[in-house]
Amino acid sequence: MNNLNNRIIGLLFLMAVCPLYAQTKNIAFVGQAATYSDNIPGADAGLTYDDDRAAAVWFMEDFVVNNTNINGTYLSFEDVAAGSVLSGYDAIWVQSDGATFSGRMDEWPRGTVEDTGEIHCILGEGGFQWNGNCTALQDDFISNIKSYYLAGGNLFLGNYASKGLEVFGVFDGLINPWEYKPNQTFGETSPITDSWAVDNPWGNLYHGETNNPIMNGFSLGSPDGGCNNGIYIEFLAAGPGKKNRTCQYNFDWGRINDDANTANGGSATLAQKYDEFETVLNAEILLTNCGGNEVQAVQFNPRNTGNGTVIINGGGSYDWYAGGSPTNYNNNIKLFTSNALLTLAGVTLSTKKIDKSQISFYPNPVQSKLYINYKGKLNTSIYNLLGNQVLVSNSKTIDISELAVGMYIIKAIDMSTKESMNYKILVK
C-alpha cells in the first residue's frame, strides 16, 4: 500500500512539474574562444575579439539568467567540429566578428585565400592564425552545423557568420547557391573617429511584417531626414565606438539584382528586387539601410521540408562592443537578438497592446485626412490588404488623399511604451 501511495504521489509530482520542464528551451552560443569569457588574441596579428566576447557574456550572464525557461550552453567552433551533439538544441546562435580585416571573412567559415596563396585560419580557439592549417577543422564544423540545420535546427547568424548561409545548406537545390549569400563586406578593426560616425546615431529601417515577433518591444527612434520612409529603429547612439563592420546584401549588383532586372525588362525597381529575393529564397527582409538598397537582417524560412529557420543580422549597426559609448548603447541590439533567439526556439512572445479606450481614429470612412486622438507619440504604418506598407507617419494628422479607395490596416505603435494596436479604416 505504501508503495502504491508513493507511486501516486510521484505521479502527481511529475504531472505538476513536467509542464514547466516541457516549456524549457535549449539554446547554444557558438563562438571562437575556448570559453565564453575569453578575450582571445589575434595571434601574430595582435587583434582582439571584444565584440564576440561581449556577445557571449551577454548571452550567458544576462539572456540565459533572465529567461528562466532557457538553458544556455557555450560551445567553441572547435567543440562543434569535434562532434558536440547539437540535436538537443532548439536554436543555435553562431557568432563571428573577430577583429580582422573584413576581406579575410568573405568566405567564412573558411579563411580567404590571400594573393600570396596563404589561407588563414579563422576558426581556431587561439584566434586568427597566419597561414593556419585548419582545413579539417573547417570541414568538420561546416558538416556538423549543416547536418543540424537540414534536420530542422534553427540558426541565428551574427555579423560575418551570415557568410555561412550557403555552406550550411540554406540554399540547397538552387543553381549556383554561392551567389545567394551576402555579397558585400566591409568595416574597420577599430572605432571610426570621423564626424559622420561619431556625431550621428545609427539605425535601420524595419521592413518585416508588423506581426513578426522580432519587432516586439522595440524603442523606436526619431528618423533623420534621410531615413523617414519606414519604421526606424536606432541601434547605436551618437558617440564614439562605431566600427561599421558590415556583412550585407547590396541590391545594386549581384545575382538578385541581375535576375530581377532580367525579369522586369532590364531595369527592376527596388520593390521588384525585394520580391525576387524573398520569393526565390523564401525569405523575409527585416532590416535595411535608410536607402533600402542594402539588406542587413533577414529571416530565411525553410525552403525544403524538414529544414530549420535561419535569421541573420550583419548590419554595421549590429555592434556588440562599442568603446566609449553612452549607457544603454546596445539595448535594441540585445532586444533584436533576444527576440530572434526566443522566436527560433519556439517561445511565444507577448505583445503589449494599446488600451482601445485610450485611442481613436476618425473619420472612418475617411476621404482626405485621418485624425488620431491619443496622448502619446505614435509611429503609424498603413498597409493594404495584400500586406504592403503604403504609408508611414509620426503625425496624428495623416493625409491619405493619395490612397486608392478600399480597406486598409493601421498599425500604431506608442514610441515610449512600445504598445501597439491594429485598426481597420475604409478609404472612400
In this predicted model, what pLDDT tens digit does every residue of 240-255 receive, in sequence order?
888 999 999 999 999 9
Taking residues 361-368, report their average pLDDT. Answer: 92
Query: What is each CA distance from 417 to 30, 220, 352, 391, 420, in whole angstroms?
Result: 33, 10, 8, 22, 9
Q: How confident is the model at residue 350 (pLDDT cuts 50, 70, 90)?
A: low
When pLDDT is cut at 50, 70 and 90, the band that residue 3 belongs to is very low
Cβ atoms of residues 306 and 150 within 8 Å: yes
**16, burial (CB in 10 Å: exposed 0-12, middle 13-18, buried 19+):** exposed
227-231, 261-265, 346-350: which has the highest mean pLDDT?
261-265
Of 176 and 99, the one with more pLDDT: 176
Task: Give the CATH H-level superfamily of domain 26-198+201-344.
Answer: Class I glutamine amidotransferase (GATase) domain (3.40.50.880)
Residue 328: the pLDDT is 62
Q: Between these two residues, 351 and 286, which has the higher pLDDT value?
A: 286
**100 or 346: whose pLDDT is higher?**
346
Of the listed ranges 61-70, 88-97, 294-303, the one predicted with least confidence? 61-70
Residue 209 has what pLDDT?
A: 74
pLDDT mean over 23-35: 92
Task: Give first-to-last CA distance, the chain, whole Å.
Answer: 76
CA dihedral 372, 376, 377, 381 (to 10 degrees): -50
Q: pLDDT by residue (tens digit) across 180-222? A: 999 999 999 888 999 988 888 888 888 877 678 887 777 555 5
Q: Give φ, ψ of 336 to 5 degrees.
A: -60, -45
For the CA atoms of 42, 47, 51, 55, the dihedral, rounded to the nearest 10 degrees, stands at 20
The predicted model scores a pTM of 0.79
DSSP 351-365: --B--GGG-EEESSS
Q: For the chain, give every domain's residue range.
A: 26-198+201-344, 356-427
What value does the mean pLDDT of the chain take?
85
Strand ordering across the sheet containing 397-399: 360-362, 369-373, 397-399
Torsion angle of alpha carbons 330, 164, 257, 290, nearest 10°?
A: 0
According to the model, what pLDDT value does residue 12 have?
36
Please give the pLDDT value at position 5.
41
Residues 144-160: tens digit of each pLDDT:
999 999 999 999 999 99
Cβ distance 303 to 170 under 8 Å? yes
Least confident of 76-80, 380-384, 402-406: 380-384
What's the pLDDT tens digit per position in 291-312?
Answer: 899 999 999 999 999 999 999 9
Which cell numbers hold the place of 388? 504592403
What residues have CB less than 8 Å from 10, skipping those under 6 apart? none
* The two domains 26-198+201-344 and 356-427 share their CATH topology (first three levels equal): no
- Mean pLDDT computed over 359-369: 92
pLDDT category at 20 given cuts 50, 70, 90 is very low
Instruction: Flag whether pLDDT at 138 surpasses 60.
Output: yes
Distance CA 127, CA 106 (A): 17
Instruction: Give the confidence band of 88 by pLDDT, cuts at 50, 70, 90.
Output: very high
* Grid cell of 339 as nine digits: 527576440
Position 207 scores a pLDDT of: 83
- Are 206 and 286 spatial neighbours (Cβ–Cβ below 8 Å)? yes
User: What whole-number percentage of the chain has pLDDT above 90?
Assistant: 53
Residue 375 gets which letter from DSSP?
S
The class of domain 356-427 in CATH terms is mainly beta
Residue 324 has pLDDT above 60, yes or no: no
